[in-house]
Every structure is written in structure tokens, then in C-alpha cells.
């Protein structure tokens, strides 16, 4: 709680200070232009990187793998996009770092190292990527398909039926 409070107090103070200093150095309108230009470039980069990440996630799901890396990268992209829309140069630098594939993947790995995936098949850590839901010795099966239940033990009654109103 104190960390977030400090974050919401310190970041705006740093942003205002940097904006004032840049405005004094290059002029107010050039500063406003740079902020708008960085937002425009950032939104276009976000669109391209988001589509790329979504495509990789779909490929992994089609291969029957859990797209954990891509899901976390999507969250990092969302944070980066929000930071780029926020006016200021410090948040723009952090936002662009979230959009650049190398740094985005590093952020995602850092986040994934702190979390655990819980599925119907049990509990696994992200460190087991790419086959989070699979035992390497078992036949490959999509984690999104339901497993067939084991056959029941006991009496089996075989029969036929027909509806009376189908005559």
C-alpha cells in the first residue's frame, strides 16, 4: 500500500519536473508536439505488437500448449499502452520499454517467475513452459479439451428406446 501511494505521488512530480525542464529548453509547443507524437507512435506500435502477440498465442493454443508467456506479454502491452497515453516523458520511456519485444519478454519472464498456473490437471509454475499442462512422457493433448472419464465399473444395461410421439 505505501509503495503504490509513493508511486502515485512521485511519478507525477517527476513528470511535471521533466515537462517543465523540456518546455523551458525547447519551447512549450515543441514539448506538446513531442508528447503527442510519442503517444501516436506508441499507439501504432501497441497495435502491431498486440496483433503479433495474439497471433503467437493462437498458434500455441492450436498446438495444444498453454500460451502463458503470451498472456503475460499481453498484460505488459496493456500497461505499456496506458503509460504511453499518459502525458509525460518518463512514462513514455517505460511504456516504450513495454512495447519493445526484448524488454517486454524480460518483463514477462520476471512477472511469470512470481506466479503459479493452476489448472484442472493440477498446479504448475510458469517455469515449466512451454508444456505447462503436459507430462513429456504422455501423449500430447490440448489442455482445453475435456478428458474422457474412465469407464465405470458395475453392471451395464444395453437397450433401445423410441419415443411414442414419433410414430
Q: What is the pLDDT of residues 91-106, one digit of tens each?
A: 999 999 998 989 988 9
Is residue 141 in a domain?
A: no
Q: What would the pLDDT profile of 25-52 be if each residue is shown by its tens digit?
A: 999 999 999 999 998 998 888 888 888 8
d(CA 111, CA 54): 19
Q: Tell me the average pLDDT across 120-146.
A: 50
Is residue 120 in a domain?
A: yes
Q: Please give the pLDDT value at position 19.
A: 93
The answer to whether 126 touches 114, Cβ cutoff 8 Å, is no
More confident residue, 47 or 154: 47
- C-alpha cell of residue 141: 493433448
More confident residue, 129 or 3: 3
Q: What would the pLDDT profile of 55-99 be if each residue is shown by its tens digit?
A: 988 998 888 888 888 888 888 999 998 898 888 899 999 999 998
Checking if the pLDDT of 125 tops 70, the result is no
Q: Please give the pLDDT value at position 61.
A: 87
Q: pLDDT band for 133, please (50, 70, 90 cuts).
A: very low
Mean residue pLDDT of the chain comes to 79
d(CA 84, CA 22): 18
State whether residue 153 is helix, strand or coil.
coil
Is residue 58 in a domain?
A: yes
Is residue 164 in a domain?
A: no
The answer to whether 76 touches 108, Cβ cutoff 8 Å, is yes
Q: pLDDT band for 149, please (50, 70, 90 cuts).
A: low
Is residue 126 in a domain?
A: yes
d(CA 78, CA 84): 10
Checking if the pLDDT of 120 tops 70, the result is no
Domain span at residue 100 reads 2-130
Q: Where are the alpha helices (DSSP H) in the chain?
A: 2-26, 28-62, 68-85, 89-99, 101-112
Is residue 146 in a domain?
A: no
In percent, how much of the chain has pLDDT > 70? 74
Is residue 166 in a domain?
A: no
**CA 145 to mean position of chain CA atoms:** 22
Quote the number of domains for the chain. 1
Amino acid at each position: 500500500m505505501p509503495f503504490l501511494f509513493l508511486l502515485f505521488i512521485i511519478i507525477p512530480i517527476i513528470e511535471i519536473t521533466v515537462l517543465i525542464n523540456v518546455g523551458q529548453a525547447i519551447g512549450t509547443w515543441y514539448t506538446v508536439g513531442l508528447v503527442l507524437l510519442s503517444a501516436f507512435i506508441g499507439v501504432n506500435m501497441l497495435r502491431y505488437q498486440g496483433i503479433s502477440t495474439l497471433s503467437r498465442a493462437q498458434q500455441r493454443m492450436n498446438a495444444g500448449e498453454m500460451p502463458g508467456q503470451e498472456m503475460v506479454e499481453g498484460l505488459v502491452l496493456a500497461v505499456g499502452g496506458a503509460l504511453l497515453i499518459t502525458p509525460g516523458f518518463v512514462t513514455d520511456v517505460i511504456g516504450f520499454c513495454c512495447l519493445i519485444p526484448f524488454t517486454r519478454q524480460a518483463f514477462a519472464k520476471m512477472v511469470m517467475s512470481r506466479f503459479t498456473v493452476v489448472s484442472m490437471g493440477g498446479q504448475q509454475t510458469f517455469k515449466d513452459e512451454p508444456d505447462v499442462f503436459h507430462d513429456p512422457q504422455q501423449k500430447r493433448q490440448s489442455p482445453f479439451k475435456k478428458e474422457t472419464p474412465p469407464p465405470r465399473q458395475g453392471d451395464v444395461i444395453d437397450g433401445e428406446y423410441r419415443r411414442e410421439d414419433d410414430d
